[in-house]
């Protein structure tokens, strides 16, 4: 592939071409006995888990083989040049990216010191002359103005020295003084109305009328010059708008990147809900698991799980939602025990976003009792699960089902939970608070939105699960 260069896939990297271990494009893909794929390097790691990271099937190395068809599929994926941000417009298949990079003229691009944009070395000097951030200082008002706007600024600068256009004798004054003088100028009615556009004729009313009749071409030229100036101003504004749109696109792109980086770590789609609930009710499959996810880049490896018919004392009454820590590649570099606040949310699928009311349960790791088996660095493949045994009643859950599907979102704080003095409410206080909430808010869905943040966010021992 492209060696150590970053690869940018046009349209994103398909899930079936992504290694679940390194989360990168499959390199020398190995087909497992469960039909999933690993990179060859990830497959051959000594500390690799014995079961598949996606389906938990035990991996049988003797049944695994290199998948040449998958390798060809990956090499045919559409990509853009690694130096697209520097201005390169190349796009093609992944298999041809390496050949392009060897001759890409943007590979040795340089950065403009003023705007920070990347340019090929041959184009940088030309850009520096026209860089939109080039600045000059007005010698009259001492304001810093863009080079391209300086000429336009001088036509309106209030400190530029000019004379009265009505030729009354007032001269060599700043423009703001002349503008204040013009309405009271004694010659205001004795000059050609085209004086603001360059005409210098002055005289009585009759002579002005004669002057206008004798010089129509000259006055038309004055108007043409003004229109030309306006056209130049419009072109500058249009160019500024293009530049603005370009900057806006870059900002929006950066915002999208931030959303991807700092949005929820997992949105879990649980489909075939009725079938899965019946399987849980019968005892055939009481717990379902999400795909593994990371708390942040190079962070904690985690997984969510759900008991759709309830767990323990909540069986048949409530849905139970949990999270758990998995053994991860970067565990040696992380802080233990795990101390990030986690929010588990059941998402409202109301088509009107302003009417959506999610149910959210907050897990504060500082409040977990006997947290060693939940929050310590995993010694085996995974720790015990922790979360809410009674997340919401099965009756209320139906309000969040659409097309036999629910969505669960997991948010993990990227900063550690700071140690603070905590006050735990007793059962009586919690009951009083919930009663007051019910009186103020009869909507049961709204009550459940705030319920976990009060008492249940404490995650008592009854909500812990092995």
pLDDT number for residue 432: 67
136 and 283 housed in the same domain: no
224 and 169 housed in the same domain: no
Whether 30 maps to a domain, the answer reads yes
Q: Please count the structural domains in the chain.
A: 4
377 and 445 housed in the same domain: yes
**pLDDT score of 428 more than 70:** no
Helix (H, G, I), strand (E, B) or coil at 42: helix
> Taking residues 77-106, what's their average pLDDT?
84
Query: Which residues lie closer than 8 Å to 205 by C-beta, 6 or more apart?
Result: 189, 190
Query: Where does a domain end: 57, 83, 103?
Result: 103
332 and 394 housed in the same domain: yes
234 and 293 housed in the same domain: no
Q: Does residue 338 contact residue 325 with C-beta atoms inside 8 Å?
A: yes
pLDDT number for residue 440: 45
pLDDT number for residue 420: 44
pLDDT in tens, 63-81: 999 999 999 999 999 998 8
Whether 40 maps to a domain, the answer reads yes
pLDDT number for residue 460: 36
Which strand (E) or helix (H) includes residue 101?
helix 94-103
**pLDDT score of 462 more than 80:** no
pLDDT number for residue 24: 87
Whether 393 maps to a domain, the answer reads yes
pLDDT number for residue 12: 82
More confident residue, 143 or 462: 143
284 and 250 housed in the same domain: no
More confident residue, 337 or 195: 337
- C-alpha distances (whole Å) from 439 to each of 399, 427, 433, 446, 451 are 21, 19, 10, 12, 14
Residues 7-37: b if buried by 16+ CB within 10 A, e if exposed: bbeeeebeeebbbbbeeebbbbbbbbebebb
Q: Which of 103-112, 211-220, 426-435 has the lowest mean pLDDT?
A: 426-435
Q: The domain containing residue 136 runs over which residues?
A: 132-188
**pLDDT score of 354 more than 80:** yes
446 and 297 housed in the same domain: yes
CA gap 98, 82 in Å, rounded: 10
DSSP 8-state assignment for residue 257: H
- List the one residue out of 306, 335, 316, 300 whose CA is nearest residue 418: 335
283 and 298 housed in the same domain: yes
pLDDT number for residue 371: 77
Give 306's strand partners. Answer: 288, 321
Whether 216 maps to a domain, the answer reads yes
CA gap 196, 442 in Å, rounded: 70
**pLDDT score of 423 more than 60:** no
96 and 142 housed in the same domain: no
Whether 409 maps to a domain, the answer reads yes
Query: Where does a domain end: 103, 120, 144?
Result: 103
Highest mean pLDDT among 79-83, 132-136, 291-295, 425-429: 291-295
Whether 334 maps to a domain, the answer reads yes
pLDDT number for residue 288: 97
Bond into 224 cis (ω within 30): no
Query: Where does a domain end: 103, 118, 145?
Result: 103
Which strand (E) or helix (H) includes residue 118?
strand 118-119
CA gap 107, 123 in Å, rounded: 13
> Taking residues 333-341, what's their average pLDDT?
92
69 and 154 housed in the same domain: no
Give 348's pLDDT tier (boundaries 50, 70, 90).
Answer: very high
pLDDT, averaged across the chain: 81
282 and 428 housed in the same domain: yes
Q: Does residue 223 contact residue 198 with C-beta atoms inside 8 Å?
A: no
**pLDDT score of 387 more than 80:** yes
pLDDT in tens, 134-178: 788 888 898 888 777 787 788 788 898 988 877 777 888 898 888
Q: Which of 193-202, 256-265, 289-298, 391-400 has the lowest mean pLDDT?
A: 256-265
- C-alpha distances (whole Å) from 118 to each of 6, 85, 101, 264, 325 are 17, 7, 16, 32, 42
> Taking residues 378-396, what's their average pLDDT?
94
12 and 75 housed in the same domain: yes
pLDDT number for residue 350: 94
Helix (H, G, I), strand (E, B) or coil at 80: strand
pLDDT number for residue 235: 80
HEC states along 179-234? HHHHHHCCCCCCECCCHHHCCCCECCHHHHHHHHHHCHHHHHHHHHHHHHHHHHHH
Whether 178 maps to a domain, the answer reads yes
CA gap 324, 363 in Å, rounded: 12
pLDDT number for residue 65: 92
pLDDT over 90 for what percent of the chain? 36
The total number of residues written for the chain in this structure: 466
Q: Does residue 408 contact residue 271 with C-beta atoms inside 8 Å?
A: no
Q: Which of 26-30, 178-182, 229-233, 367-371 has the lowest mean pLDDT?
A: 367-371
Whether 446 maps to a domain, the answer reads yes
Here the CATH number for the domain that contains residue 155 is: 3.30.40.10
């Amino acid at each position: 592939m492209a060696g150590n260069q970053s690869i940018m896939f046009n349209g994103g990297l398909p899930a079936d071409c992504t290694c679940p271990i390194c989360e990168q494009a499959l390199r020398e893909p190995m087909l497992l006995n469960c039909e999933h794929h690993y990179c060859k390097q990830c497959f051959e790691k000594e500390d690799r888990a014995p079961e598949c990271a996606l389906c938990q099937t035990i991996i049988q190395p003797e049944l695994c083989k290199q998948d040449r068809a998958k390798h060809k599929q990956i090499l045919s994926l559409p990509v853009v040049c690694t130096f697209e941000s520097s201005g390169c417009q190349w796009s093609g298949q992944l298999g041809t990216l390496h050949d392009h990079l060897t001759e890409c003229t943007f590979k040795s691009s340089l950065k403009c010191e003023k705007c920070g944009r990347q340019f090929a070395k041959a184009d940088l000097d030309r850009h520096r002359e026209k860089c939109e951030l080039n600045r000059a200082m007005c010698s009259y008002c001492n304001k810093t103005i863009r080079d391209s706007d300086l000429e336009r600024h001088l036509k309106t600068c209030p400190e530029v020295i000019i004379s009265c256009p009505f030729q009354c004798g007032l001269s060599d004054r700043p423009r703001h003084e002349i503008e204040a003088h013009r309405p009271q100028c004694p010659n205001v009615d004795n000059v050609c109305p085209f004086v603001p556009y360059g005409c210098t004729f002055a005289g009585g009313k009759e002579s002005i009328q004669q002057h206008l009749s004798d010089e129509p071409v000259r006055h038309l030229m004055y108007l043409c010059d003004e229109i030309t100036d306006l056209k130049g101003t419009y072109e500058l504004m249009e160019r500024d708008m293009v530049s603005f749109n370009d900057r806006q696109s870059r900002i929006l792109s950066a915002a999208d990147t931030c959303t991807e980086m700092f949005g929820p770590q997992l949105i879990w789609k649980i489909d075939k809900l009725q079938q899965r609930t019946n399987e849980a009710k019968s005892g055939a499959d009481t717990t379902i698991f999400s795909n593994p996810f990371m708390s942040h880049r190079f962070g904690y490896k985690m997984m969510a799980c759900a008991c759709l018919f309830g767990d323990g004392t909540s069986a048949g009454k409530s849905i139970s939602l949990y999270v758990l820590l998995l053994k991860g590649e970067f565990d040696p570099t992380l802080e233990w025990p795990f101390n990030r606040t986690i929010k588990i949310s059941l998402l409202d699928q109301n088509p009107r976003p302003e009417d959506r009311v999610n149910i959210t349960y907050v897990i504060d790791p500082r409040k977990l009792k006997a947290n060693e088996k939940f929050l310590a660095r995993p010694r085996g493949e995974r720790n015990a699960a922790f979360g809410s045994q009674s997340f919401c009643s099965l009756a209320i859950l139906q309000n969040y089902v659409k097309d036999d599907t629910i969505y669960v979102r997991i948010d993990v704080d990227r900063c550690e939970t700071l140690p603070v003095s905590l006050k735990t409410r007793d059962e009586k206080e919690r009951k009083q608070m919930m009663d007051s909430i019910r009186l103020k808010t009869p909507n049961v869905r709204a009550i459940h939105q705030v319920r976990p943040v009060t008492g249940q966010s404490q995650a008592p021992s009854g909500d812990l699960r092995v």
